[in-house]
Structure formats: structure tokens, C-alpha cells
């Protein structure tokens, strides 16, 4: 396959690239004439917004519908590089259904300048590194979302992926979770070579892989803002100093935080006074994402991205905050209330743009 065909297969034709030593190190984003793009007067949040956590939908049109409905300018399409897109309730895709990368490629090509690619694969499989290496060589902007639910965060299996991310100069987006979701959406297997909770192991990974850029996200990442070890996915109440996540963000320049999903929303909502200072302190390391499953960017079509709560628990309180709403809109509204315009712009646009190496100035 020639180089143009490879880029076309990844949905990257129309982008500017540089090639060093046969490996594409960086693919800059160029808006093509006639492509779909929001103009400066079409930024409902006051500045362009990049969604750094958007799971690829089943059609290009569905991808754009959510983006436009939420007022988002660009989005990272988190896309499995192999297999099928997941479906609610575990319903299998039809055998002839389009593969995830096909849908992502079509989306990027159809709506130029509005989407870019992050790729993932089953990180427990021996071929994981080779699959991700191929996507990196073709220009994916990051690896993710990866979980390591059933592997040690600091073990050699995940380490090979971290090393590849450093080699290819792309970030790795990680979901950290030690408490099962009540709805069974995150299935835990019997741990192999570690015990849960294992979030404390992230510091080992950060030390062993200092050249790897990590984007942390998920219930354990945000649940450990305070010093108490999180025993629920959505803890409530004031955030005290000394939490592990605070320490890691303070001490490791290669760690960033993704303010997305219910966990990111809950992290800022539980203690607004703390959150205002937290956003200022880490304004260069935090980035907005949605991780929303609503269909239209306004809360339509199902649960709006929120997991089903356990009865009489903190999950129920969080659920009431986001039920029937678009998670992107909930978090963007919250950030507007908590952050100054300059900090808001960094978190919702500049930080993600820089980390994904998007050559866009708006």
C-alpha cells in the first residue's frame, strides 16, 4: 500500500504531514476549502471548543449531530482499531456492519477540520502494540481510550503501550476505575498480578515512563482528588488537601487530566470553592471532554451518558445532576461558572489543541 492510500485509509488525506525516518511523527491539521467548519461568530461558548473524549458513533452524520448540538468545534474520535463498536446492553453488531475505523475515516473526510483520530484496541491482547503502531504510523493523534481494568497499571503489558506512545510522540488517554459500575458497563475480570484498588500504581507508571504523556480520566482518577481512598465512583462533599490525584498532577509534568464524563463533572460539582482554585492551579494540564452518549448534543436519545445509579448512593446524586442532559453541555456550563474566560479557553481549547498537535489558530 502506498503512502497516500495508507493516509486515505486512516481518514487523513487533506492533512499536512512530515515524515522522519519512514515514521510519520506529526500530522498537522489543515482546514480544506469547502470543509465543514464553525466560523468565529459560531462559538456559543465564547471560544472554539475541542472535545477530547468523544466515542465514534455508527454514522458520520451521528458524529456531527452531537458536535453541532453541543456547540463543539472539533472532537477527538475515540475509535477501536479492531473489532466493532460497542452497543448498549451488549447487543452484537451485525456481521456486515461498518468497522469503527471505516466510520471514523468517513467522518474525518466528510467533515474536514471537525474531527481527528484517537485509536484503541484490546490492551490485554499480544497484538495490541502492533495494531496501535500501525495507527500511529498513519497519523493517529493519540491512543485511547485504554483502561487496564484487568491488568496492572504499572505492569509490563501496559508498559509496552506507554513506551510506544512515547516513541510515536502521542498521548495515551486512560480510564481508571477500581469500583465496578452498578449497571455492569465496565466489566471486571479476576485481577492478574495485582489487587484492587490499584490507582495508587499510577505513580509507578509515571516514574517508569517519564516521556509518555498520560491523560487521566474516570472514577478512580477523579474520585481520589481528596486524601480518602475512593470507595464509590462518585464521592460527595468537600475536597480536602493531600489527595493522590492532586499530588500526581502537582509532581508529574507528563500527567494531564480529562474533565469528562460523570466523574469529571462530579469532581468539579462536589466542592465549587475547591474547584475554582484547582482549575487555576492546573489550567495548563486540564482539558475538556464529553464522553457523552446522547444523540443530539442536547440530552436526547437515552441516558445522556450517565451510568445507571445504585439505589440510595452517591451515584444517585450524580445521576440527578446529569439525567436527560448532554454531558458536554453540563460540563461546559460548569466550567463557565467556575473559570475565568482565559482559564476556560485553555481548558476547552488550547490545551487539547496543543496536546493533539492541531495546527489550528482561532
All three cell numbers of 23, joined, read: 515514521
Q: For the whole model, what pTM was predicted?
A: 0.86
Which of the four pLDDT bands, split at 50, 70 and 90, describes residue 80? very high
Q: What is the mean pLDDT of the chain?
A: 84
Cell 474533565 belongs to which residue? Answer: 259
Residue-wise pLDDT for 17-66, tens only, equals 333 222 222 333 333 323 444 444 579 999 999 999 999 999 999 999 99
DSSP state at residue 154: T
Q: What is the mean pLDDT of the segment spanning 143-154?
A: 91
pLDDT for residue 15 = 39
**H-helix or E-strand containing 172?**
strand 172-175
Q: What is the mean pLDDT of the segment spanning 97-101?
A: 83
In this structure, the chain runs to a length of 362
pLDDT at 11 over 50: no
Neighbours of 323 (CB within 10 A): 12
Q: Which residues contact 173 (CB under 8 A, 6 or more apart)?
A: 52, 53, 78, 118, 142, 143, 144, 145, 146, 215, 217, 258
Residue-wise pLDDT for 189-210, tens only, equals 888 889 999 999 999 999 999 9
Q: Which of 64, 52, 145, 146 is nearest to 104 (CA)?
A: 64
Integer Rg of the chain from CA: 19
DSSP state at residue 54: E
Cβ atoms 345, 323 nearer than 8 A: no
Distance (Å, rounded) from C-alpha 274 to C-alpha 211? 30
pLDDT at 280 over 70: yes
pLDDT for residue 83 = 62
How many percent of the chain have pLDDT more than 90?
68
Please name the residue ranges forming H helices in 169-211. 202-208
Q: Which of 150, 175, 159 is nearest to 55 (CA)?
A: 175
Please give the residue that has the higher pLDDT: either 314 or 178: 178
Question: Which residue segments constitute the domains of the chain, with CATH numbers given?
Answer: 50-355 (3.20.20.140)
Q: Tell me the angle at which helices 314-322 and 261-269 cross, rounded to the nearest 10 degrees.
A: 100
pLDDT for residue 19 = 31
Strand partners, 16: 28
DSSP state at residue 149: T
pLDDT for residue 157 = 92
Is the bond preceding 145 in cis, omega lying within 30 degrees of 0? yes
Amino acid at each position: 500500500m502506498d503512502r497516500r492510500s495508507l493516509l486515505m485509509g486512516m481518514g487523513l488525506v487533506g492533512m499536512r504531514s512530515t515524515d522522519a525516518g519512514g515514521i510519520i511523527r506529526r500530522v498537522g491539521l489543515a482546514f480544506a476549502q469547502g470543509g465543514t467548519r464553525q466560523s468565529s461568530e459560531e462559538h456559543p461558548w465564547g471560544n472554539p471548543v475541542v472535545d477530547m473524549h468523544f466515542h465514534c458513533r455508527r454514522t458520520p452524520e451521528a458524529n456531527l449531530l452531537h458536535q453541532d448540538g453541543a456547540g463543539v468545534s472539533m472532537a477527538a474520535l475515540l475509535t477501536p482499531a479492531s473489532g466493532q463498536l460497542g452497543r448498549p446492553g451488549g447487543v452484537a453488531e451485525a456481521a456486515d456492519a461498518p468497522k469503527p475505523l471505516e466510520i471514523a475515516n468517513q467522518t474525518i473526510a466528510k467533515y474536514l477540520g471537525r474531527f481527528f483520530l484517537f485509536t484503541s484496541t484490546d490492551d490485554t491482547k499480544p497484538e495490541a502494540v502492533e495494531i496501535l503502531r500501525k495507527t500511529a504510523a498513519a497519523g493517529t493523534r493519540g491512543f485511547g481510550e485504554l483502561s487496564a481494568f484487568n491488568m496492572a497499571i504499572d505492569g509490563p503489558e501496559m508498559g509496552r503501550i506507554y513506551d510506544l506512545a512515547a516513541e510515536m510522540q502521542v498521548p495515551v488517554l486512560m480510564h481508571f476505575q477500581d469500583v465496578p459500575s452498578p449497571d455492569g458497563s465496565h466489566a471486571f475480570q479476576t485481577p492478574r498480578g495485582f489487587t484492587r484498588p490499584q490507582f495508587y500504581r499510577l505513580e509507578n507508571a509515571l516514574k517508569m515512563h517519564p516521556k509518555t504523556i498520560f491523560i487521566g480520566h474516570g472514577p478512580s482518577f477523579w474520585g481520589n482528588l481528596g486524601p480518602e481512598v475512593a470507595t464509590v465512583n462518585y464521592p460527595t462533599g468537600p475536597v480536602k488537601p493531600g489527595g493522590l490525584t492532586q499530588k500526581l498532577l502537582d509532581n508529574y509534568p507528563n500527567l494531564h487530566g480529562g474533565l469528562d464524563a460523570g466523574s469529571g463533572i462530579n469532581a468539579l460539582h462536589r466542592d465549587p470553592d475547591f474547584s475554582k482554585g484547582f482549575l487555576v492551579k492546573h489550567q495548563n494540564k486540564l482539558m475538556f471532554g464529553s464522553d457523552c452518549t446522547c444523540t443530539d448534543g442536547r440530552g436526547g436519545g437515552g441516558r445522556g451518558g450517565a451510568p445507571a445509579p445504585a439505589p440510595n448512593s452517591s451515584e444517585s446524586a450524580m445521576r440527578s445532576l446529569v439525567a436527560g442532559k448532554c454531558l458536554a453541555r453540563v460540563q461546559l456550563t460548569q466550567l463557565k461558572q467556575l473559570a475565568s474566560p482565559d482559564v476556560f479557553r485553555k481548558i476547552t481549547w488550547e490545551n487539547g489543541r496543543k496536546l493533539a498537535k492541531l495546527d489550528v489558530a482561532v
